[in-house]
Amino acid sequence: MAVEMSASRLLAPYFGDSLFIWANLIGLILIYLTAGYYLGGRVADHWPEPRLLYSLTLAAATIAVVPFVAKPIMSVAIEGIEQVSAGAFLGSFGVTVLLFSLPVTILGMVTPFAIRLSMKRVESAGNVSGGLYALSTIGSILGTFMPVFLLIPSIGTRDTMLLFAAVLAATSAAGRWLGAGPPLLILAALAIPQGQIKPSAGNIYEAESPYHYIEVVQQPDGSRELTLNEGWAVHSIYKPGQIMTGGYWDYFSLAPWFGSGRPPQQALVIGSAAGTVPGQLIHFDPDVHVDGVEIDPKVVEIGRRLFGMNEANLTVHVGDGRPFLMTTKNYYDLIAVDAFRQPYIPFYLATREFFQAADDHLTGD
């Protein structure tokens, strides 16, 4: 599970974090595990040796190599996007996921191998297999939550994969009485400078959060753009000294003229990102109070640091747009929905029920 969660973040800066990517990642890893379960049972029956099991898990620690090998391969995807080459994009995605085949297949061999080694008599089969599956599930729980909530946000994807590989290597080395050499070798890789996660022209800031790979790109004219994951769409833009962006964000400033024409006193922006739309609304009507809703706290932090999102009458709520709308007691003269950017359109913000909830929170005009 730690490999799978880390793999999703390794792929996101280059291929995105859409449902399509997740389906391919989960499906292929399940295929690798299936092969591992089958091979593990056969190998264990022929060579039921603990040292062989530890040798296999030590080989699985080669997962530490994947972040270093995958980066140049995934860079081909960027060229494929720029050249509108589906072959380069899909090919690099396939090769990247293929890199996980060997270590994940070996990890799949562990459970049937461990059951075979622990089985002393048929009468204890249920107890042995149940206990090992329970232990495996506890490990899966840790492997799911630790990377997502602790390690990836604090030390990044690459170092998270290295730490889990080092733990696996340490366990394997202890079983084979190999000393501390293998895990120390992997931990030494932590000292290798990581550099940019996704090298690109104009990159002035990048970060990983539980939701996205976040990148801020500065253009030659001094404007800044916020992109997420593979960077297909710009989610916020900031032009110092210039309020109009020349993009779709400007349209929201026309919204009052579709109602009474009176400037709004209370406005809600769902999907406020780094604050482009709230900043424009406040610029044209300094008396308006804007509630912004943004799901990623890291994006909010970047908005305040790099996009001038520091207006006194802007309140940013970190959370999901629909639950906020369903629970807020406030009513608004204007609700701006800025959460629709390909390929990240939350389906639950594109439903009849969502727009009915929005309508229920609008004032009369």
Element (H, E) at 318: strand 314-318
Structure tokens at 319: 């959370």
Task: Tell me which amino acid residue 308 is.
Answer: G
Walk me through the domains of the chain, giving residue ranges and CATH numbers: 2-191 (no CATH), 249-360 (3.40.50.150)
Task: Tell me which amino acid residue 279 is.
Answer: G
Single out the residue of 203, 244, 253 nearest to residue 224, CA to CA.
203
Contact (Cβ atoms closer than 8 angstroms) between residue 187 and residue 166: yes
The structure's pTM equals 0.81
Question: What per-residue confidence (pLDDT) applies to 138?
Answer: 94
Q: What is the largest CA-CA distance in the chain?
A: 82
Question: What per-residue confidence (pLDDT) applies to 305?
Answer: 95
Question: What per-residue confidence (pLDDT) applies to 81?
Answer: 58
CA distances from 117 to 208, 293, 315, 317 (A): 41, 54, 59, 53
Single out the residue of 180, 323, 232 nearest to residue 21, CA to CA.
232
pLDDT in tens, the chain (365 residues): 999 999 988 888 888 777 777 888 888 899 999 999 999 999 999 999 999 999 999 999 999 999 998 888 887 766 665 565 566 566 667 777 788 999 999 999 999 999 999 988 887 888 888 999 999 999 999 999 999 889 998 899 999 999 999 999 998 988 887 777 888 888 888 888 888 888 788 999 999 988 889 999 999 999 999 999 888 889 999 999 899 999 999 999 888 788 777 889 999 999 999 999 999 999 999 999 999 999 999 999 999 999 999 999 999 999 999 999 999 999 999 999 999 877 778 889 999 999 999 999 999 88
